[in-house]
Structure 1
Amino acid sequence: MEIRRQTVGITAGHAGQPPTQVDAYTMDTGADLAVTVWTYGASLVEVQVPDRDGVVDNVVLRLPELASYESRRSNPYLGSVMGRFCRAVRDGRFRLDGVEHELATNEAGQHIHGGPLGFDRYVWTADAARDGDELQLRLRLDSPDGAQGYPGAVTAECRYRVSGDGTLVFDYRATTTASTIVSLTNHAFWNLSRASTVDDHVLAVRADRAVVFDDDFVPQAGPPPPVANSGLDHRRARQLGGAALDNCFVLDDATGPAAELTDPATGRVMSVHTDQPTLGVYTGDHYAALPRGGICLTAGAMPDAPNRPAYPSARLDPGGLYRQRTVHRFGVC
């Protein structure tokens, strides 16, 4: 087992952060899993796993160089950590303790995935070490009070943990100096095959309900409806085919995997386990560079949770600790 570090470039910089060096960390178990993360956006760049014949490939979409990651046109959050609040906040506004907060908007008047300068646009500090039989990369980002309109100074951590049994763990933590909202997730596009699309992949999602969105990706009124007798019913594994998915599935059952993705051609299987209330599933239909080239499985809070009292709260108070843990397990069939 080893950890390798190399510099990949220096960012162009923006109003929130000057030009900053970006490093790549590769955690190589020497067995069936090697993971590369860049400090820009705490981005997951490579996950190397074998297929049923022992052929090793990268199963997440990646870009060729740092400049491509910095470009919003070429980089739709590819592999990045999204925050301070992933998913949508309606009209970029929410109330907390009677005070209305106005967030920066970035899509159709909505606040999406942390805004135009979300956590994905920053270089995180990092340190890596071996911890027993696993390798760990800890990344940290300090977000000042008022960043993108959010109250409170937030310190966020993302810990990638890799072990030789084919397990990749995303472990998120955050603290705040004032009451705020937090939900972090990783926006990797997964493709377990060597094909150009994920149409032949088979997906199972352990969810009886899914959020229905309007045209601005804001949840419609009312509770999430059942998936039964709809195109969103993946309770039994079925092939994606040409189905376009961009939905948030409600994880009412905390036991077992939230989802399982299989590529019959290579035999690769990836199961997703999480402690979060929802799993976002997006088949990448609007990714201009490679439509349907990968599928996102993003665990996190309910969309627009700050404005929906019936949804689980995304609130974080001083003295509290935000925790989120999502586990990806790789194997073959």
Structure 2
Amino acid sequence: MNIRKEAVGSTRGHCGQGPTTVDSYTLDTGDGLSVVIWTYGASTVEVLTPDRSGMVGNTVVRLPDLSSYQDRRRNPYVGSTLGRYCRIVGDGRLRLDGVEHELDRNEGRHHVHGGSIGFDRYVWEADAEHQDDELVLHMRLVTPDGDQGYPGTLSAEVVYRVDRHRRLTFDYRATSTAPTVVGLTNHAFWNLSGSGTVDHHRLAVNADRAVVFDSELLPLPQPPSPIAGTALDYREPRPIAGAQIDNCFVLDDPAWAAELYDPASGRAMRVLTDQPGLGVYSADKFTDHPRGGLCLEAGALPDPPGREPSPFSRLDPGEVYRHRTTHEFLIR
């Protein structure tokens, strides 16, 4: 098992950080799983696994260089850690204890994935270590009270864990000095073939219901809807086959969340999480790589606009936000 660190460049300076060196960490188990993470955006850049013939390939979409990751026109959160809160806050208005907070509006009138300067735009502090049979990368970020309109100084951490059983785990933690909302997740575009589109992949989601959205992807104030017999029915594995997916599934069974399988390469990936929701997005609006990967974003269920946040996304002083998601890689 091996950990390698190297510099990949320097940011142009933003987020109050000034020009900052960006490091790449490679966590290589030597047993069929090697993961590359950059400190810019705490981003998953490569996840290298073998196919059924033993050929190793990258199973996440990556961009060519640091400047591409810094270019919002080319980078729709590729592999990034999203925060403070993933998905959409309608009209950029957050209500906490009857007080309305106006968040940064970075997509029309809405707040999306943490705002114009979300967690994906920062260079995170990092250090790596061996822990028993795991390679562990700790990444930390502190953002001030009022950042993007959110109340409270937030201390966030994402821990990447890679083990000999071909498992990649994301452990998220956060604390706040004031009541706020938190919803951290990873925005990797998974493609188990390493190229082309994901249309030939087979997807299964362990959910009977999905959140109901309006045309702007704002959740409606109604219960999740049964998916049996609908276009979102992935309870049994079936090809993605051109389906445009951008929804949040309700996970009632903690055994597993989703499975993705590429028949051509034999690579399979099982997702397990302690979160109640799984956002699935087929990357139809990704300009550089349309349908080139599938996002599987575990997290809290999105809150309807104007509502008080759910217990899964609310964070009060003295509490610790926790979220764990594991990706297990198999060969069939």
**CA distance in structure 2 between the aligned counterparts of 1:198 and 1:182, rounded to whole angstroms:** 30
Match of 2:243 in 1: 243
Give TM-score, length-normalised by structure 1: 0.97
Partners of 1:163 and 1:184 lie apart in 2 by: 22
Partner of 1:328 in structure 2? 327
Deviation at 1:101, TM superposition (A): 0.5
Q: Which range is displaced more, 200-209 or 187-196? A: 187-196
Distance (whole Å) between structure 1 residues aligned to residue 231 and residue 195 of structure 2: 24
Aligned 1:70-219 pairs, distance under 5 A: 70-219=70-219
2: CA distance, partners of 1:310 / 1:112: 16
Distance 1:15 1:323 in 2: 25
Measured in 2, the distance between the counterparts of 1:63 and 1:230 equals 34
Question: Contact between 1:60 and 1:294, CA under 8 Å: does it hold in 2?
Answer: yes
Equivalent residue for 2:313?
A: 314
Task: Tell me how far 1:15 sits from its aligned partner.
Answer: 4.4
- Could you tell me whether the CA contact under 8 Å between 2:210 and 2:248 is conserved in 1? yes
CA offsets per residue over residues 27-47 of structure 1, 9 Å max, x none? 000111000000000000000
Q: Give secondary structure in 2 for the equivalent of 1:123.
A: coil
Q: Deviations over 1:52-79 (max 9, x none)?
A: 1111000000011100000110000000
SS in 2 for 1:126: strand
**Two-structure CA RMSD over aligned residues (Å):** 1.2
Q: Tell me if the contact between 2:212 and 2:220 (Cα under 8 Å) persists in the aligned partners.
A: yes
8 Å Cα contact 2:282-2:294 kept in structure 1: yes
Report the AA paired with residue 326 of structure 2.
V
The aligned counterpart of 2:2 is: 2
8 Å contact kept, 2:58–2:194? no
Q: Against the structure 1 CA distance between its residues 87 and 101, is the aligned structure 2 distance closer, same or farther, given a 3 Å change threshold?
A: same
Structure 1 position 309, deviation (Å): 5.2
My pick for the range that moved more, 212-221 or 193-202, is 212-221
Q: Is the 8 A contact 1:79 1:186 kept in 2?
A: yes
* 1:72-96 Cα shifts (integer Å, max 9, x gaps): 1000000000000011111111211
8 A contact 1:173–1:324 mirrored in 2: yes
Deviations 1:266-287 (A, max 9, x none): 1100000000110000010100
Deviations 1:158-200 (A, max 9, x none): 0000001100000000001111100100000000014410000
1:323 CA drift (Å) = 0.2
Q: Please give the per-residue CA displacement for 1:78-130, whole angstroms capped at 9, x wherever unaligned.
A: 00000000111111112111211010011121111001100000000000000
**Residue 7 of structure 1 contacts residue 24 of structure 1 at CA under 8 Å; is this kept in 2?**
yes
- Structure 1 residue matching 2:226: 3-state secondary structure: coil
Query: Which residue of structure 2 aligns with residue 39 of structure 1?
Result: 39
Matched, 1:266 2:295: no
Equivalent position SS for 1:272: strand
Query: Which segments of structure 1 move beyond 3 Å, counting only runs of 4 or more?
Result: 305-313
Unaligned ranges ≥5, structure 1:
none
- Counterpart of 1:180, as a letter, is T
Cα distance in 2 between the residues matched to 1:209 and 1:310: 20
Partner amino acid for 1:253? D
Aligned mates of 2:246, 2:210 — CA distance in 1: 11
Q: How far apart, in 1, do the equivalents of 2:325 and 2:299 lie? A: 9
Instruction: Tell me the distance in 2 between the aligned counterparts of 1:311 and 1:218.
Output: 15
Report deviation, 1:222.
Answer: 1.0
Q: Distance in 2 between matches of 1:207 and 1:247?
A: 12
Match of 2:61, SS state, is: coil
Q: 2:221·2:304 contact (CA, 8 Å) conserved in 1?
A: no
Give the corresponding residue for 1:288: 287
Which whole-Å CA distance do the structure 2 matches of 1:304 and 1:69 have between them?
A: 29
Which residue number corresponds to residue 29 of structure 2?
A: 29
Cα deviation for residue 16 of structure 1 reads 3.4
* Distance verdict in 2 for CA 1:14–1:194, change over 3 Å: closer
Q: Write the distance in 1 (CA, Å) between the matches of 2:324 and 2:305.
A: 21
Rounded Cα–Cα distance in structure 2 between residues aligned with 1:312 and 1:235:
27
Over the matched positions of the two proteins, sequence identity in percent amounts to 61
Q: CA offset at residue 17 of structure 1?
A: 2.5
Shift in Å at residue 212 of structure 1?
A: 2.1
Partner SS, residue 225 of structure 2: coil
Partner of 1:257: 256
| Distance in 1, Cα, partners of 2:125 & 2:214 | 37
Distance 1:140 1:43 in 2: 13
